[in-house]
Structure 1
Amino acid sequence: MKKKEQEDSVMKRKKDSGRILFGVCCAGYIIFMLVILYVKPFEGLSYTITEVQRKGYWETVRSHTDFQLFESIFPLVNYVFFILLFIPAGILLPFYSKKYRRLLPFFLTSLLLVLFVGISRLLSLLGYFIADEILMNLLGCLYGWLIFKIFYGILRLYLKKK
């Protein structure tokens, strides 16, 4: 009986350490995203303030919006950056909840996340709302989800063999 209790205790500690590691990864990723998406743009804040004073808030918001696909003001390198930026979100969401291991709930949640980031950056004037950026961010989430599914499937096969 005592051996069973010890095994349960070890399993509980492993599970708790996994949750702590997941929490640290999520917190680190969120801090990284906040710095990249919201703090770094403060470098150009004086220009944005001048632009708002000259044009007005809503005119500035309108000028920070671009819905033309793949003809935006950003070069190809930024497309790769936008994809890479959201791959961790695509990996972490299925770890967070089993419901995100299915494509539709994952896709809808990722779409809401990407739209929230784009709209909040636009309304705070700390970035642009560009259709290309939104699509690349969503594509990054989907790549992350595919990476999760591949590694999760490999892990399940490995554990079945044991």
Structure 2
Amino acid sequence: MSKVQRIIMSIGFIGYLLFLTFYMFFQSRGSAGMSMSLVEYIQNRSNLVPFKTIGNYITAWENGTMNTWTAVKNLLGNVLVFIPMGIFLPSLFGKLRRMSAYLLAFVLIILTAEVTQLLTQRGSFDIDDFILNLLGAWLGFLVWNTSVIQQWVGERRGE
């Protein structure tokens, strides 16, 4: 990757991180829970049952108790918001160009963000969000690994 490309990618990554920080911590979520103790907040705002929230969104959408936009925004949004991570991290950090190293780093990043949301009472910990975020990050890595992106960043396969 040329110096100019690295600068462009770095600026883009910083902008993306600022967006994620706002999206995950400062987006208006109402004041529900702010009068709870931290333990109560964690108990009320955590889901550790895989596919429970996803299933609830799909069921509510099918029953007509939730509009399509809300279901799409919550499910697809959690995937789409992390696709850029799969492009930025391996482009900027050579050690994250192997899928296993990248996924391990991403798992640590997203777990840290999810736990921080709970501890700061700025969101929830939902295993379904984690699954959808991981799917988005994996898709982003697959995009990064395409020949078009590899050509743009000047990477050689097999090196």
Q: Which residue of 1 aligns with 2:114?
A: 118
CA-to-aligned-CA distance 1:30-53 (integer Å, 9 cap, x gap): 111011111104x41x32223x1x
**Is the counterpart of residue 72 in structure 1 residue 59 in structure 2?**
no
Q: Which residue of 2 aligns with 1:25?
A: 12
Whose radius of gyration is greater, 1 or 2? Answer: 1
Alpha-carbon offset, residue 152 of structure 1 = 5.3
Structure 2, unaligned runs of 5 or more:
58-70
CA-to-aligned-CA distance 1:44-82 (integer Å, 9 cap, x gap): 1x32223x1xxx220111111111222217634212110
Contact kept? 2:115, 2:125, Cα under 8 Å: yes
Q: Which residue of 2 aligns with 1:11?
A: none
C-alpha root-mean-square deviation of aligned residues, in Å? 2.5
Q: Which residue of 1 aligns with 2:101?
A: 105
**Is the counterpart of residue 88 in structure 1 residue 69 in structure 2?**
no
2:43 aligned to which of 62, 69, 73:
62
Aligned residue pairs total 140
Structure 1, unaligned runs of 5 or more:
1-13
Quick one: higher RCO (CA 8 Å, sep 6+), 1 or 2? 2
**Is the counterpart of residue 16 in structure 1 residue 16 in structure 2?**
no
Alpha-carbon offset, residue 153 of structure 1 = 7.1
Structure 1 pair 159/112, CA: closer, same or farther in 2 (3 Å)? closer
Structure 1 pair 135/25, CA: closer, same or farther in 2 (3 Å)? same
Alpha-carbon offset, residue 155 of structure 1 = 2.3
Tell me, in whole angstroms, the C-alpha distance in 1 between the residues paired with 2:88 and 2:147.
Answer: 13
Contact kept? 2:114, 2:125, Cα under 8 Å: yes
Alpha-carbon offset, residue 159 of structure 1 = 9.4
Amino acid at match of 2:82: F
Contact kept? 2:41, 2:118, Cα under 8 Å: no
Structure 1 pair 93/63, CA: closer, same or farther in 2 (3 Å)? same
Tell me, in whole angstroms, the C-alpha distance in 2 between the residues paired with 1:93 and 1:113.
Answer: 11
Tell me, in whole angstroms, the C-alpha distance in 1 between the residues paired with 2:109 and 2:136.
Answer: 12
TM-score, normalised by the number of residues in structure 2: 0.78
Tell me, in whole angstroms, the C-alpha distance in 1 between the residues paired with 2:155 and 2:94.
Answer: 18
Higher helix share: 1
Contact kept? 2:144, 2:150, Cα under 8 Å: no
